[in-house]
Amino acid sequence: MVADASKDNEALVMSSDPDHPANLICELCRNFYRLGWVTGTGGGTSIKHNDHIYIAPSGVQKELMKPADMFVMDFPTRSYLRKPPVHKPSQCTPLFLAAFDRGAGCCIHTHSQWAVLITLLVERDFGKEACFEIQHLEQIKGIGKGRGKVGNLGYFDKLRIPIIENTAQEEDLTESLEKAMERYPDTYAVLVRRHGIYVWGDSVHKAKAQCESLDYIFQLAVEMKKLDLPWL
């Protein structure tokens, strides 16, 4: 039975377990804030736990969020089980759902400056249609081979991350994000030009590790570009 979203449904987000999704999202966003990934209310995180989707609200300071701020959606029916009346649902919601539809357990959206710079460098040097490609970096091993595939990429594998164009409204990115997911079925991330990145993983642990690995690779790639070192 789907609960009535007009009721507070506090029990859905209140838990003493630090691994409860509502607690984890707050903890993750505090750490992401310190990395400059969710500055000025930008970015967000969502976790799928069984049939429940936990989503950070729109327009709140991500380092100050509390479990009571979380939206909870019923995944099969896409209806809200909990909607805090003081908040607006995240515009990233349809983008997070696109990742969950492809088997993700967690999706992270950041406004990392390294991700933004990569989208600009690829456009300048390889054109608007190009994806980000790099190889021969140890940290590539932090990225999974692809959905349904066992293990991670190896040192000699090429990492490819598609890039989509930004839109005025975040939710309008959904269609091009889904197209990029279809065109690059093994990707765990999509870059958004002049905006940031969406990264997902089978679990919270994997999404976080992939997001960190990618950010490290982007920062390194920007520095390599400055030194005239090739990505491939």
- Angle, CA 139 vertex, CA 137 and CA 145 arms, to 5°: 100
Q: Which residues pair with 44 in a beta bridge?
A: 109
Rounded Cα–Cα distance for residues 88 and 82 (Å): 12
Rounded Cα–Cα distance for residues 74 and 100 (Å): 12
Is residue 20 part of an annotated ligand binding site?
Answer: no
Is residue 87 part of an annotated ligand binding site?
Answer: no
Residue that has been written with the tokens 């570009």 in this structure: 225
Give me the catalytic one of 27, 123, 133, 138: 138
Q: From 51, 107, 55, 105, select the one nearest 82 (Cα to Cα).
A: 55
Rounded Cα–Cα distance for residues 227 and 205 (Å): 33
Q: Which residues pair with 27 in a beta bridge?
A: none
Is residue 109 part of an annotated ligand binding site?
Answer: yes
For residues 144 and 203, the answer to whether their CB atoms sit within 8 Å is: no
138 is a catalytic site residue: yes
State the binding site for Zn(2+): 109, 111, 195
State the binding site for substrate: 92
| Residue numbers annotated as active site | 138
State the binding site: 92, 109, 111, 195
